[in-house]
Amino acid sequence: MSTIIAENELPTDLTIEQAVEAAYSVELGEVADRLARGLPTLIECDKELTPWLYMNIRGRLKTAGWKMAYLDGRPRADEPPVEAAAIGLTGAMIRQLVDNVRGAVEKKVLVLPHLDLLTTSQGGLTSEAREVVVLLYENPEAVWLGFKDPSFPLPKVIENLFPHRTSLLGVARPRLHKLVTQREARKFGRPFNPWSLYKHVSGVNAVRLRRLLGTLDGEDYPADPSKAYRQLRQATLVGGLEVPAVDLEKDIGGYSRVKTRLSREILDVLKIKDTETDADRVKKLEDLLPRGVIFWGPPGTGKTMFAKAMATSIGAAVTVVSGPELKSRWVGESEENLRQIFHRARQSAPAIIVFDEIDSFASARGMYTGSGVEHSMVNQLLTEMDGFRSEELVFVVGTTNFVEALDPALLRPGRFEFHLLVPYPEDADRRTIIEIYNAKMGLMMSEAAIDFAVRRTADFVEGAAAGSRYTGDHLNALCRALARIRLRDGRKDESTPADVERALTEYIEIPQLTPREERVVAVHEAGHAIVALYSPHSPPIERITIRGDSAGALGYVRYQDREHKFVITRNELLDTIAVLMGGREAEQLLLDDLSIGSGEDLKRATQIAHGLIDELGMGRQTGAVRFNADDKSTRRPELSPEQLAALDREVREMLEAGRARAAAILTEHRAELELLRDMLLERKTIEARQLGELLKT
Residue 497's alpha-carbon distances to 138, 447, 448, 510, 550, in angstroms, are 83, 9, 6, 20, 21
**Three-state secondary-structure class, residue 238:** coil
Residue 138's alpha-carbon distances to 95, 96, 111, 132, 376, in angstroms, are 14, 14, 16, 10, 33
Q: Do residues 356 and 323 touch, judged by C-beta distance below 8 A?
A: yes
Q: What's the rounded Cα separation, in Å, for the pair 458 and 558?
A: 9
- The active-site residue out of 184, 374, 392, 525 is 525
Least Cα distance to 348 among 153, 503, 212, 543 occurs for 212
Q: What's the rounded Cα separation, in Å, for the pair 374 and 355?
A: 14
**Three-state secondary-structure class, residue 397:** strand
Radius of gyration of the chain from its Cα atoms, rounded to whole angstroms? 36
Active site residue 9: no
Q: What's the rounded Cα separation, in Å, for the pair 181 and 9?
A: 9
Phi/psi region, residue 366 (left: phi>0; alpha: psi -120 to 50; beta: rest), is left
Strands 67-70 vs 351-356: parallel, antiparallel or unpaired? unpaired
**In 290-403, alpha helices (H):** 303-314, 323-326, 333-347, 373-386
How buried is residue 393: exposed, middle or buried, by Cβ count under 10 Å (0-12/13-18/19+)?
Answer: buried
Write the DSSP symbol of residue 595.
-
Q: How many CB atoms lie within 10 A of CB 85?
A: 11
Residue by residue, DSSP assigns 415-458 as SS-EEEE-----HHHHHHHHHHHHHHHT--B-HHHHHHHHHHTS
Q: What's the rounded Cα separation, in Å, for the pair 663 and 686?
A: 23
Strands 41-44 vs 394-400: parallel, antiparallel or unpaired? unpaired
Q: What's the rounded Cα separation, in Å, for the pair 69 and 465?
A: 67
Apex CA 474: angle with CA 257 and CA 323, to 5°? 75
Least Cα distance to 48 among 209, 207, 172 occurs for 207
Q: What's the rounded Cα separation, in Å, for the pair 450 and 432?
A: 10
Q: Do residues 293 and 418 touch, judged by C-beta distance below 8 A?
A: yes
Residues designated catalytic: 525
